[in-house]
Amino acid sequence: MKVLVIGSGGREHALVHKLKDSTKVNSIWCYPGNAGISCIAQIPNIADPSPSSLAEFADSMGIDLTVVGPEGYLAEGIVDAFQERGLVIFGPSKAAAQLESSKAFAKNLMAKYGIPTAAHRVFSDFASAKAYIENAGAPIVIKADGLAAGKGVVVANSTAEALAAAEAALTGALVGEAGRRIVVEEFLSGEEVSILALCNGTNCLLLTPSQDHKTIGEGDTGPNTGGMGAYSPVPVVDKALEDEILNTIIEPTLKALHQEGIKYTGVLYAGLMLTKSGPKVVEFNCRFGDPETQVILPRLKTDLLELLLASCEGRLHLLPPPEWDPRPCVCVIAASKGYPGTPETGFPINGVDRIESWDDVYVYHAGTAFQNQQLITSGGRVLGISSLGNDMQAALDKAYQALEDLSFEGMYYRKDIGWRAL
């Protein structure tokens, strides 16, 4: 089969790497890709990156399956564009992707159908938001309604901080147009967990739980990022809790969308808070998580291609549960100086070849490029080092040992990934 992966991050590198393991895949493409992906997949020369142009390319090349990584393409309607040509593509439609592209849509859906989440209000003007925030008090959470690459959420510990965040979002200063409408919601306390499920409308298949570290600073402090690391499995999530999440959140969400006339196919990613009163939805994403994918796929023993095809073809219910490597996996992100603001890039990267020779260690490229055959930094999150170990501490030790062999100017990584699991 010919497979096309859309995206350029560590998540897409992990997807390409895993899909190449399938005996059914004989050629794999990735657009726009990155330096690491270019070593294992073909990078097409496409001048127009629009969904319709990518659909035209896939049609002309006889691509059998396309897998979409980034949420932006899903929000634009890339799945609709491919399906109009009769092409097989893994991901939700533009209507279904509103679960991620509009926080207000997701929160209103959950409120309507009784799916457990934080209490919320939606605002488009600062005066109304100000009155609500001053009445509610802090801590409180301010969220940009639209897509903001993981940087549109502010957990405010004071009313003044909340008001500043709301004003910055609504004026466009925080994340541009994505923040012109905001969701203000109650602060939930507890432990966060990421649950990803493969879906084909009414049926779904849970993947192994994972937990990411969203903030830039150790001890989970500082501004939010796209993710600074992750680990899987999550010790606090046992089979009983998985079943509760499936029965009270995942399946009801699919049914709610169906009631609204929307069929959801693809990955449904539920970011949950494990509160004293049970799991509640913090946010929904409509694609594989990054860096969660980088700790889930190294543990997956089942053929990923078969899982994705079964989702697209509506036969997930016929498959047995996926098989998993029992060993834990961790991923630590090496980022550029300045991230999550404007990163400093263009610096040579050293040590990747040495790390790639290690057993049970994966180097997933994100913000990388080749310049005169030299690997250089080209983005905020540069590389993800994932490792498997006999226990969580062993996996962490291996990842951090590998990072000691890696260097580029301004390199930063958190040294406390997995602290909750330990």
Q: Calculate Rg over the CA atoms of the chain.
A: 21
Q: Are 263 and 336 members of one domain? A: no
309 and 245 in a common domain: yes
53 located within any domain: yes
Residue 174 domain boundaries: 125-180
Residue 74 lies in a domain: yes
333 and 390 in a single domain? The answer is: yes
Rounded Cα–Cα distance for residues 242 and 247 (Å)? 9
154 plus 225 within the same structural domain: no
Task: Report the alpha-carbon distance of residue 388 to residue 377 in Å, rounded.
Answer: 25
Report the alpha-carbon distance of residue 141 to residue 128 in Å, rounded.
Answer: 16
Indicate the number of domains in the chain: 4
Residue 308 shares a structural domain with residue 340: no
Cα(123)–Cα(60) distance, integer angstroms: 45
**165 & 210 share domain:** no
The CATH number linked to 357 is 3.90.600.10
β-pairing verdict for 329-335 and 229-232 = antiparallel
Is 212 found in the same domain as 241? yes
Answer with the one of 256, 285, 318 that is the final residue of a domain. 318
Q: Give yes or no for a contact between 12 and 316, defined as CB atoms under 8 angstroms apart.
A: no
Q: The CATH number of the domain where 142 resides is what?
A: 3.30.1490.20
What percent helix, strand, coil does the chain show, rounded to 5?
A: 35, 30, 40
Return the CATH number at 76: 3.40.50.20
In this structure, the answer to whether residues 205 and 135 fall within a common structural domain is no
Domain-terminating residue out of 91, 115, 140: 91
- Can you give the pLDDT of all 422 residues of the chain as single tens digits? 999 999 999 999 999 999 999 999 999 999 999 999 999 999 999 999 999 999 999 999 999 999 999 999 999 999 999 999 999 999 999 999 999 999 999 999 999 999 999 999 999 999 999 999 999 999 999 999 999 877 789 999 999 999 999 999 999 998 999 999 999 999 999 999 999 999 998 899 999 999 999 999 999 899 889 999 999 999 999 999 999 999 999 999 999 999 999 999 999 999 999 999 999 999 999 999 999 999 999 999 999 999 999 999 999 999 999 999 999 999 999 999 999 999 999 999 999 999 999 999 999 999 999 999 999 999 999 999 999 999 999 999 999 999 999 999 999 999 999 988 88
